[in-house]
């Protein structure tokens, strides 16, 4: 798809996405600030954090896992060959726009059965995944199946997936500032086998 040279800034695709993210961020800060703080607390207090999502949401949540590792948290991406068993007291952080992704819901049920906690980011406050979670952030974005254009001009859950990245970075930022650790102190945890 080519961008027409006569596009104005107001209808440029980057402006469309930036405006949607700005609106979404304002709504999250207004509606979900206490839940955000509870999720940050849960991440800080968990002995280990496991992250799980599918598709693009999974890729977005892996970015959060990396940042949490930079903070020094013991974090694992579910499905990696070296991921240990989740146990009592651990936290499973999930993301699913629909809140019904079967593999994620099944993992949440398993986590609860061994005494772990579940947290989620979803668009569906009444979903099975949200019901299982002790902390659930509801993102006001279109779900993957919503092609109406009413909730977002973007395709197939794009705004939700972007919100997972933003929330993950915001959680990192909040926890980093709580820690009082400098950027120089975090740097040695960055990958050096590149």
- The residues annotated as belonging to the active site are 161
What phi and psi values does residue 163 have, to the nearest 5 degrees? -65, -35
SS3 assignment, position 142? coil
Provide the token pair at 16.
């469309």
Would you call 28 exposed, middle or buried from its count of C-beta atoms within 10 A (0-12, 13-18, 19+)? buried
Rg (CA), the chain: 17
Provide the token pair at 55.
């598709």
Residues listed for the chain: 194
CA atoms of 48 and 60, how far apart (whole Å): 19
Provide the token pair at 171.
């959680």
Provide the token pair at 10.
């107001």
What phi and psi values does residue 52 have, to the nearest 5 degrees? -150, 130
Residue with tokens 């609106």: 23
């Amino acid at each position: 798809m080519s961008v027409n040279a006569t596009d104005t800034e107001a209808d440029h695709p980057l402006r469309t996405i930036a405006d949607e993210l700005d609106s979404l961020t304002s709504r999250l800060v207004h509606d979900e600030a206490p839940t955000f703080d509870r999720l940050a607390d849960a991440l800080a207090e968990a002995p280990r954090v496991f992250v799980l999502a599918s598709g693009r949401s999974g890729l977005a949540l892996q970015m959060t896992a990396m940042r949490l590792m930079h903070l020094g948290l013991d974090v694992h991406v579910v499905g990696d060959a070296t991921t240990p068993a989740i146990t009592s007291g651990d936290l499973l952080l999930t993301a699913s726009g629909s809140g019904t992704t079967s593999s994620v819901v099944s993992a949440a049920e398993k986590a609860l059965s061994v005494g772990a906690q579940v947290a989620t980011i979803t668009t569906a406050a009444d979903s099975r995944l949200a019901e299982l979670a002790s902390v659930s952030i509801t993102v006001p974005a279109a779900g993957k199946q919503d092609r109406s254009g009413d909730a977002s001009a973007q395709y197939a859950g794009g705004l939700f997936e972007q919100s997972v990245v933003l929330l993950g970075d915001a959680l990192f930022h909040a926890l980093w500032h709580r820690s009082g650790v400098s950027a120089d102190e975090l740097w040695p945890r960055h990958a050096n086998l590149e």
